Amino acid sequence: MRGGEVVGRRLAAAVLLGLIVGIAGIGTALAAEPATISLGTDGWTSLPDGWSDFVGWDPSTHTGWLNQDLYARIMIVSNDVTLDGNGFTLAGDNTGDGVTLWLKSGVVVKNLKIREFTRGIYLVNSHCNSISGNTVAKNVNGIWLQGSSNNTITGNILQGNTDKGIHLMGSAGNTISSNTATDGSYGIWLQGSPNNTVTGNTASGNTLRGIQLANCTGNTVSGNTASNNACGIWLQGCQKNNIAENNLRGNSVAGIHFMGCSENTFSGNLISGGGKGIHGQGSGSNTLNRNSVSGCDCGLSLLASSGHDIYNNTITGNCCGLSLWNSSNNRVYNNNFIGNSVQALVGLGTGNVFNLDRPAGGNYWSNWTGPDTNGDGFVDSPYVFERRNRLYYGQDNLPWTRENGWLDAYTFEGFLPPLDSDGATFRLGRSIPVKFRLRDANGDYVADAGAALFLVRVVNGIPGEEIDAVSASKSVHDNFFRYSPGDNLYIFNLDTKDLSVGTWRLRTALDDGTSHHVTIVLE
C-alpha cells in the first residue's frame, strides 16, 4: 500500500506540473528515483526500457537531444558532446544533480529546462565547456562549478533556486555573462575562485546578495544589474578585484559592501536607493572612483578602514553623503557632494585628508560654493564638516566652487621670466612678455585654451578699476594670449607706455573659470 501511495503521488504531481509528456513516459517516470541516463560519443546509454523515442542522437555532430520532458538525471560521460534540451524539462525529486560533468571538456549544455534537484547543472574538475540558454529553476542550487576552469556560462535563467543561482568554488578563468539570477538567497556566488569575468548579468530579488565574492582575487565584475536584493554586491576577504560599471538599485542593506578586503577597485558604479551606497568595514587600501550614489541612507561609508583613495565620485541626495568612523589615513578628494542632508560626518580617526595640494584641491560641496575673491576656483575658506560632538571633526581646506572643477581646470605652471611669482620691476614704457604653459589632467600640454590678460592699478594696497591689457604688437587688437606651439607657450607682449608709475596687478583669466595673478612695479 505504501508503495502504491508513493506512485500515486508522483503521478499526480507529474500531471499537475506538466513535466511528463506521453503515456509511455509517465509510466516509466513513476520510479521512486529519477532514472540516470548517460550521454557520450556513442550516444545515449543506460536508457530505461521504452525510452529510445524520448531522446535523439546525431553521431555526425555528437549531439544528443530530448524529445519530451524527462524524470531523470543525465551524466555526460565523454568530452566534446552537445546536450540540447530542445526546450524540454529535466525534472528530479529535489535530490542529486540534474546534469553532471565530471572531468570533462568541450561539452555544450543548452536549451534545457531543469528543476527540482540539489544542483541543476554540476561541473567538477571540468574545463572549457559551454552552459548556455538553459532555464534552471526551483532547485536548491542552479549551476555549480567546482574546481573547473575556462568555462562559459551565458544566457541562462536561474529562478527560484532556494540557495544559489550560480556558484563557483575553487574555479578560475570562467566567463559568467548575460545570465538572470532571481528570487533565491544568492544570485551569483564566487568562493575561492580567481580571475573570472562576471559581466552583463541580472541578479534581482534575492533575499541575501545579488553577487557575492568570498576569498577571491583578480576577478572582474562589470556591467551587471543587481536590484532589490538585501545587498547588491558583497565582497569578503577579497583582494585585487575590479568592480566596475554595475547598476545597483534598491538594495536594502547596501549597493556594495566589502569586509576584510584590500587593493580592490570600485569604479563607475551607478547606485541608487536602499541602504548604504558603498560601505567598507575592516578594510584597507581600496580605490573608489567615478561612482555615482543617490537616494541612499549613506552615500559612502567606511568603518574601521584605512588607506583608501576616494575620488571623482558624485554623491547626491542621500541622508548622509560621507561617513568615516574609526577610519584613518584615507584620502577623499575631487568628489561632488550635492544636496545630501548631512554632507559629511567624520569621527574617531586620524590622518584622513580631504584635499590635495593645488591644483587638484579638494571636493565640491553644494552648500559651500563661495566666495572666491581671487578667482582661483576654490572657496576662500575651508569647508568644516558637521560637528555633532567632540568625536566628530574634519575639514576640506580647498573646496571647489563648482561641480567637477578639477576635471575642467588646467594645471597652470606659473608665470615665466621675466615675471615670477613675486612679480618684478620694469621701466615704464617697455614691452613686458607675459608667458606661461598649461597642462591637462593627463599631463599633456594644452594648446587650445582661451586666455585673456587684465590689469588693475593698486594704490596703498587698494585695487582700482580693472582694464583690458593692450598688446605691444600692432597686429593684435584684443587682450587675448596667442599660443606658440614650438615651445608650448601662451604669450602676451604687454604694452606699458600708456600706464603710470606704480604697482599693477596682472590677472590672467582662463576659460576653465580660473584666474592667475602676478604683481609688477613700473618705475
Q: What string of pLDDT tens digits covers the 523 residues of the chain?
A: 333 333 333 333 333 334 333 333 433 444 579 999 999 999 999 999 999 999 999 999 999 999 999 999 999 999 999 999 999 999 999 999 999 999 999 999 999 999 999 999 999 999 999 999 999 999 999 999 999 999 999 999 999 999 999 999 999 999 999 999 999 999 999 999 999 999 999 999 999 999 999 999 999 999 999 999 999 999 999 999 999 999 999 999 999 999 999 999 999 999 999 999 999 999 999 999 999 999 999 999 999 999 999 999 999 999 999 999 999 999 999 999 999 999 999 998 999 999 999 878 999 999 999 999 988 899 999 999 988 776 778 999 999 999 999 887 788 889 999 997 667 899 999 999 999 999 987 788 999 999 999 999 999 988 899 999 999 988 888 999 999 999 999 999 999 999 999 999 999 999 877 888 899 999 9
Dihedral (Cα; 186, 190, 196, 198), 10-degree rounding: 10
Q: pLDDT at position 374, please?
A: 85
Q: pLDDT at position 393, please?
A: 82
Of 423, 410, 399, 364, give the one whose Cα is nearest residue 512: 410
Exposure class string for 248-271: b at 16+ Cβ within 10 A, else e? bbbbebbbbbbbbbbebbbbbbbb
Of 86, 64, 78, 87, give the one whose Cα is nearest residue 107: 78
Q: pLDDT at position 476, please?
A: 82
Q: Report the Cα–Cα distance between both ends of the chain, in Å, rounded.
A: 119
Is 82 in contact with 33 (CB distance < 8 Å)? Answer: no
* CB-based contacts of 271-277 (< 8 A; 24+ apart in sequence): 271/232, 271/296, 272/248, 272/296, 273/249, 274/249, 274/250, 275/251, 276/301, 277/301, 277/315, 277/318
Place of cell 538553459: 134
Pairing assessment for the beta strands 43-45 and 320-325 based on DSSP bridges: unpaired
* C-alpha cell, 517: 595673478
Cis peptide bond upstream of 485, omega within 30: no
Residues with Cβ within 8 Å of residue 439, at least 6 apart in sequence: 410, 411, 413, 445, 446
Q: pLDDT at position 24, please?
A: 34
DSSP label at residue 201: -
